Amino acid sequence: QGDEVVTLTCFLGCVEIHKICHLMENQINNIERGAFDDLKELERLRLNRNRLTQLPELLFQKNEALARLDLSENAIQAIPRRAFRGATDIRNLQLDKNHITCIEEGAFRALRTLEVLTLNNNNISSIPVSSFNHMPKLRTFRLHSNSLRCDCHLSWLSPWLRQRPTLGLYTQCSSPPTLRGLNLAELQKNEFTCSGQSDSAFVQPCSLASGSCPPMCSCSNNIVDCRGKGLTAIPAHLPEAMTEIRLEQNGIKSVPPGAFTSYKKLRRIDLSNNQISEIAPDVFQGLRALNSLVLYGNKITDLPRGLFEGLGSLELLLLNANKIHCIRATAFQDLENLALLSLYDNKIQTLAKGTFSPLHSIQTLHLAQNPFVCDCNLKWLADYLRSNPIETSGARCASPRRLANKRIGQIKSKKFRCSAKEQYHIPGTEDTRLNNECNSKPVCPAKCRCEANVVDCSNLRLTKFPQHLPASTTELRLNNNDISVLEATGVFKTLSQLKKINLSNNKISEIEDGVFEGAGSVMELHLTANHLDSVRGTMFRGMGGVRMLMLRNNRISCIHNGSFTGLTNVRLLSLYDNQLHTIMPGAFDTLPNLSTLNLLANPFNCDCRLAWLGAWLRSRRIVTGNPRCQSPSFLREIPLQDVAAPDFRCDDVLEESSCVARPQCPTECTCTETVVRCSNKHLQALPKGLPRNVTELYLDGNQFSMVPRELSTFKHLQLVDLSNNRISSLSDSSFSNMSQLTTLILSYNSLRCIPPLALAGLRSLRLLSLHGNDISELMEGIFSDVASLSHLAIGANPLYCDCHLRWLSDWVKSGYKEPGIARCAGPMGMEGNLGTPVKFQLFFSPSPGPVEMSVQAKCSPCVSGPCQNHGVCQSDPVELYTCVCAPGFTGKYCETPVDVCASNPCTNGGTCISDEQTRRFSCSCLVGFHGSFCEVDVDDCEDHGCENGATCVDGVGNYTCFCPPFYIGILSIHSLYTFSLDSLSRHFIGILSRHSL
């Protein structure tokens, strides 16, 4: 009792007892490595209620018999990776009520017999992935009362706890604030998010002791030197007295919260040349002595708000060679003693006015190699640099063109202007000119043009809304694109200043309910020249302030009394040039402020159903332009307001009006709310008119040969039934964007193979039925994304149960999955073996061997070389494979020789002669032609006999002489003596004429 340091001599009493050693409730604060090496038969060791702050690595390496270890109620701060190396028989390990903040990856990996593990009442914020996966016998596990940060790095723990409902009870999140106090096991994976751009975990390697030199580093004169040590994270528990830490030239990807805050004596931090993309805002908090901070050569894109807060002593700040696109106006507000600031070689396009005003001591500023946009917003910088000639790197403009490559400090102020006629950002890049508060998103979407709060994304062939719209947008131009569906993505909820939206000249046929939620300030909505065939009030929900609604040149056939519900402020409504044949009574009653209604160029059927409209138009002071009737014939071209009431008549029995708003449903299907049933309809493609909000879709018993590509556009789907079709293969994108899908039924198809990424992204999937297909192999990792999967039906498949399928057994056992009944079809000796949930792990052949070719061909159809005669095999989603045949062969396998003369290759009457041995042909040409295809006409005039200057005219196998004046004859050899006929003789030729005139 009263010991402070435990050495080997302290345990003489324990040696005599051999198996039990009680050292609890002492003053022990340090244990040397090797202290227990002689206690080889030690089974129980109690060190609880002491003052231990560290666990030396390999402390228990000689204690192979140790079964129970109690280290609770100490001050231990870290669990190193090799803390329990050698003590592989520990069954009870108690670490509760310590100060543990750090658990290194693999710390518990060797403890496969562990039954009890207590980690409750510590300061643990994060735990490495799969830290507890090697404890199959674990029956008691406590993790409550910690500081767990429930971000993306801890998402693995939630399904782990759900699969073990008796373990880890009351484990709750401590942060972020939105999840604080919630039971971790009840959270879904998508609730574990990381705010930064990096997915690297904030998990630190644990040094041997708090306040000691990390083993991979060197320490002297209060300088910790960890340069070039291959570190991927900042070591924890560094010497508290250090004044300088050198971490350059490592692989560090993130700087976690509080990484340096406890080292108050730090004067210099060097993190240059790492892979840092994420920095916690409070990482330098409280470092009032810090005068040098080196962060160049990383991947930093954004400086979090308050990152340099309180660093009043900082004199040197190097941020060059990063990817920073955003500098907040207040980023340097506390750096009054900063002498050198380098922002050289980043992605900065603009800087807010006053960014450098707090830098009272600044002497050197490096801003070059940034794509500065020298518009009116950067005029202040030119003025600043002229007044303060401290920029020594030669910062230049990148745009507009007239100022490109000119030094900012030498350009006159009047040159910095904003004009709609100029392009201010580099084509092909994102416009990241940001406001003073500068969020992490670009202000202007890629390829769009932004000027004076107008975002112009017209004529870009867009198929959906662009991302990262600036919050200050007042006008959004999306006209002349290829958008077909407006999806409710919440894009307008952050655009409180938006006044006008132009969506004209697109291909919009469907507007999802709630698309315009948040667009309450919009006053003009232009939907001219689209493909809308109906309108309903819920389309425009959230647009209560709109005053102008342009629906010209669409395909709207009727208007009902729910078409414009909620649009009480509309003053101008244009339905010009649609296909309106009738309008239901009361259709405009929800538009009390309507003053202009354009109904021209519509084929109105002026029957009894439209009688109300004539009287309504006459009784209202509304500008309409006098819409005219198109039918019946006796009312054609008569203004609707001028038709007498008796003339609005229906001679036949009224059919049910097609203008009543009905839920959208394909004609081949039946719909109940969001459930659509299209079973047994002989469908080969998705039916038209599926509601966008469908949640359950039954397509079983049809004739699909592949999963419809359009299926991935229905993002609300929770159940898809494609059973009893003809689907033979899946692609990596068959079920993309279906993050809400919980049930997928593909039973009784012709599936032969499941690609590795076919199920990627199906994080909510719980039931997958592959029953009754032709699947022999399942590649390891295909279920890596389906963390919620609990039921897998793979029965009635010819499974090839060799060692390559053993992983499936481990996967089934790891999460208590229900695999159903599966039967083996091979390899030899395994045929007919039945696998049940109980015996599932027993029916895999342990002996490795070559997989049968017929099995391999299911996922690699070309592996067997099915194409003959040098044909090239290519995979095909429907036919499994196709053969591209070499010249001279045809057929599915290129097995059939082609008749080389079948295409009549010989021209000009030539005869094709085939050679059966060489599979080639030759042409026998008629007289007067030659060449491979008889395509060349022989020039018979080459050796002609025409005389006396006669002209030779080539024929087919002959030639003709065209005689000059005064000569006739076949070869123009006879003279003419009658000169009076000079003017006529030139027109004679003499093919057979032998007589002179």
Closest CA to 216 of 235, 198, 200, 199: 235
Note the pLDDT of residue 859.
83
Percent of the chain surpassing pLDDT 90: 31
pLDDT surpasses 80 at 225: yes
pLDDT band for position 984 (50/70/90)? very low
- Least confident segment among 363-367, 415-419, 806-810, 990-994: 990-994
Please give the single-letter amino acid code of residue 234. I
Residues 846 and 711 both lie in one domain? yes
Closest CA to 722 of 768, 760, 789, 779: 768
**Of 807, 835, 860, which residue constitutes the final position of a domain?**
860
Residue 660 CB neighbours (<10 A): 11
Please give the single-letter amino acid code of residue 710. E
**Which helix (DSSP H) or strand (DSSP E) does residue 967 occupy?**
strand 967-968
Note the pLDDT of residue 15.
45
Note the pLDDT of residue 979.
34
pLDDT surpasses 70 at 41: yes
pLDDT surpasses 60 at 397: yes
Q: How far apart are CA 73 and CA 46, in angstroms?
A: 11
Please give the single-letter amino acid code of residue 857. A
Range list of H helices, 436-512? none
pLDDT surpasses 80 at 996: no
SS3 876: strand
Note the pLDDT of residue 641.
84
Structure tokens at 899: 């008749």
pLDDT surpasses 50 at 199: no
Residue owning tokens 């010819």: 798
Express each pLDDT in 313-372 by its tens digit: 999 999 999 999 889 888 999 999 999 999 999 999 889 888 999 999 999 999 999 999
- Does some domain include residue 735? yes
- Does some domain include residue 611? no
Residues 721 and 844 both lie in one domain? yes
Residues 852 and 955 both lie in one domain? no
467: number of CA atoms within 13 Å, CB side? 4
Mean pLDDT of 490-517: 89
Residue 644 CB neighbours (<10 A): 10
Mean pLDDT of 707-730: 90
pLDDT band for position 844 (50/70/90)? low
Mean pLDDT of 905-913: 86
Residue 656 DSSP label: P
Higher-pLDDT residue of 449, 662: 449
pLDDT band for position 819 (50/70/90)? low
Q: How far apart are CA 338 and CA 292, in angstroms?
A: 9
Q: Is 402 left (phi over 0), alpha (psi -120 to 50) or beta?
A: alpha
pLDDT surpasses 70 at 675: yes
- Least confident segment among 47-51, 157-161, 431-435: 431-435
Closest CA to 90 of 68, 75, 105: 68
Express each pLDDT in 400-426 by its tens digit: 888 889 999 899 888 888 765 555 555
HEC string of 603-636 equals: CEECCHHHHHHHHHHHHCCCECCCCEEEECHHHC
Peptide bond into 827 cis (omega under 30): yes
Residues 706 and 844 both lie in one domain? yes
337: CB partners within 8 A, 6+ apart? 291, 312, 313, 314, 315, 360, 361
Q: How far apart are CA 629 and CA 633, in angstroms?
A: 9
Structure tokens at 879: 């036919």
Q: How far apart are CA 245 and CA 291, in angstroms?
A: 13
Buried residues in 617-626 as b, exposed as e (16+ CB within 10 A):
beeeeeebee
The residue count of the chain comes to 997
- Does some domain include residue 121? yes
Note the pLDDT of residue 680.
94
pLDDT surpasses 50 at 280: yes
Note the pLDDT of residue 834.
60
HEC string of 656-719 equals: CCCCCCCCCCCCCCEEECCEEECCCCCCCCCCCCCCCCCCEEECCCCCCCCCCHHHHHCCCCCE
Structure tokens at 452: 């004076």
Residues 705 and 851 both lie in one domain? yes
Structure tokens at 43: 């089974």
Note the pLDDT of residue 209.
40
- Does some domain include residue 227? no
pLDDT band for position 690 (50/70/90)? confident
Residues 4 and 142 both lie in one domain? yes
- Does some domain include residue 9? yes
Q: How far, CA to CA in Å, does 264 sit from each of 246, 268, 287?
A: 16, 11, 5
SS3 135: coil
SS3 743: strand
CA 266 to chain centre: 41
**Of 147, 169, 187, which residue constitutes the final position of a domain?**
147
Residue owning tokens 């499941």: 754
65: CB partners within 8 A, 6+ apart? 19, 40, 41, 42, 43, 89
Q: How far, CA to CA in Å, does 89 sit from each of 66, 69, 176, 908?
A: 6, 11, 38, 94
CA dihedral sign, ordered 508, 513, 515, 517: positive
680: CB partners within 8 A, 6+ apart? 700, 701, 702
Residues 856 and 977 both lie in one domain? no
- Does some domain include residue 123? yes
Q: What is the DSSP string of 851-872?
A: PPHHHHHHH-TTTT----TTPE
Residue owning tokens 């990776």: 81
Note the pLDDT of residue 422.
59
pLDDT surpasses 60 at 295: yes
Mean pLDDT of 925-949: 82
Considering its fold, how many domains does the chain have in total?
Answer: 3
pLDDT band for position 576 (50/70/90)? very high
Residues 823 and 947 both lie in one domain? no
Mean pLDDT of 584-603: 91
Residues 848 and 974 both lie in one domain? no
- Does some domain include residue 664? no
Q: How far apart are CA 822 and CA 838, in angstroms?
A: 12
Most confident stretch, 6-10, 203-207, 744-748, 901-905: 744-748
Residues 944 and 836 both lie in one domain? no
Higher-pLDDT residue of 658, 99: 99
- Does some domain include residue 514? no
| Mean residue pLDDT across the chain | 83
244-249-250-254 Cα dihedral, nearest 10 degrees: 70
Mean pLDDT of 210-230: 83
Residues 846 and 706 both lie in one domain? yes
Mean pLDDT of 43-68: 89
Predicted TM-score (pTM) of this structure: 0.41
Note the pLDDT of residue 902.
73
**Of 104, 119, 147, which residue constitutes the final position of a domain?**
147
pLDDT surpasses 90 at 475: yes
Backbone angles phi, psi at 738, to 5 degrees: -100, 60
Mean pLDDT of 570-597: 92
Q: What is the CATH number of the domain that holds 954?
A: 2.10.25.10
Q: Residue 789's domain spans which residues?
A: 696-860
The angle formed by the CA atoms of residues 372, 375 and 377, to the nearest 5 degrees, is 95
Q: How far, CA to CA in Å, does 908 sit from each of 902, 925, 927, 957?
A: 16, 8, 10, 13
Q: What is the CATH number of the domain that holds 29?
A: 3.80.10.10
Q: What is the DSSP string of 208-263?
A: SSTTS--TTSEEETTEEE-TTS--SSPPSS--TT-SEEE--SS---EE-TTSSTT-
Note the pLDDT of residue 12.
41
Residues 843 and 740 both lie in one domain? yes
